[in-house]
Amino acid sequence: MAVLHATIHYKPFLVSLLILLVHFHITEAQVGVCNGQDGNNLPSSQEVVDLYKSNGIGRMRMYAPNAQALQALRGSNIELVLDVPNSDLQRLANDAAAASQWVQDNVRNYYPDVKFRIIAVGNEVNPNAGESTAPLAQYVLLAMSKIYDAIASAGLKDQIKVSTATYSKLVSNSFPPSDGSFDGAAGSFMGPIINFLKNTNNPLLVNIYPYFSRIDNPQSITLQYALFTAPGVVAQDGQLQYRNLFDALLDAAYAAVEKAGGPNVEIVVSESGWPSEGGADASVENAQTYYTNLINHVKDAGGSPRRPGKAIETYLFAMFDENQKNGGAESEKHFGIFLPNKQPKYQLTFN
């Protein structure tokens, strides 16, 4: 009888504890790292996965399917954001069978041994005239839809999200953040995408780089504001106060998404980083400061001023320096948090 009484007495406590644990799992912030592969001196796929695991990095973004990498991820418990590369957008947009085959080859053949989190259909497609990716803009939503249908047909739409990765350059009027919007060609491009994400309960992926904002506008943006080291409030936006540029860029994107008809669409920060050399303000010291403060900030459940009380799912760019990265500034080759020989550039605690 005493045992029965004890069981009844503690049952509410156990239920409360279970609720607490479930809540913690849902809100727990994990920082991911992008696994770029534009280098001729990078470790093997298995070595890369082992390096993620030994450093407690629980999430990875990969920019194209790679059979060796997917094989190495089996059983690792690393959650994966896998891109459909821009080069595949037109083909998949025009052919549902090709999209189904893509999902079969690169997702179903590895699931559930590989923990797919998000399929990112296209990266940084810019529809504005003169941009190299402008001709691809017409295919992004169609390809997203075809991939989503293939994921749904596999019975995985509740397990694997489908989105696209855009970037701050498409957000107009980003200061103050509440003025953020998608205008002109960007509006015509992003509006239907936001509507699709809203209707399918999927997030938008956004690449956010305070580094590039700072070097493009050093007269108006201080280094401290970009590095999370400003001593106080830097920007006031109505009742909202901004102490760092990352939050301001994120909230400008949120404002743009809201105006495009997606007030409940969440944003995942699919890239953010700082180079250690190759450009203005690029140094090991600044990069160490940025990555350390970014990790601490996004893990904190404080969220951003516009979306408070929520950890910010964020992927650091990138795992390694990439000596074959084409285009852009020299700094693009020096965003790695590890050297290609697997030695860490910085002392970071990821999760």
| Residues assigned a catalytic role | 124, 271
Q: What does the alpha-carbon distance between residue 201 and residue 256 come to, in Å, rounded to a whole number?
A: 18
DSSP state of 330: G
Q: Where are the alpha helices (DSSP H) in the chain?
A: 2-27, 45-54, 67-73, 89-93, 96-103, 137-153, 184-200, 210-216, 223-226, 245-259, 284-299
Residue 303 three-state SS: strand
What count of other Cβ atoms lies within 10 Å of the Cβ of residue 276?
A: 21
DSSP state of 107: I
Location of structure tokens 């069981």: 7
Element (H, E) at 266: none
Cβ(84)–Cβ(145) under 8 Å?
no
Cβ(60)–Cβ(317) under 8 Å?
no
Q: What does the alpha-carbon distance between residue 51 and residue 65 come to, in Å, rounded to a whole number?
A: 19
DSSP string, 188-227: HHHHHHHHHHHHHT-PEEEE--HHHHHHH-TTTS-HHHHT
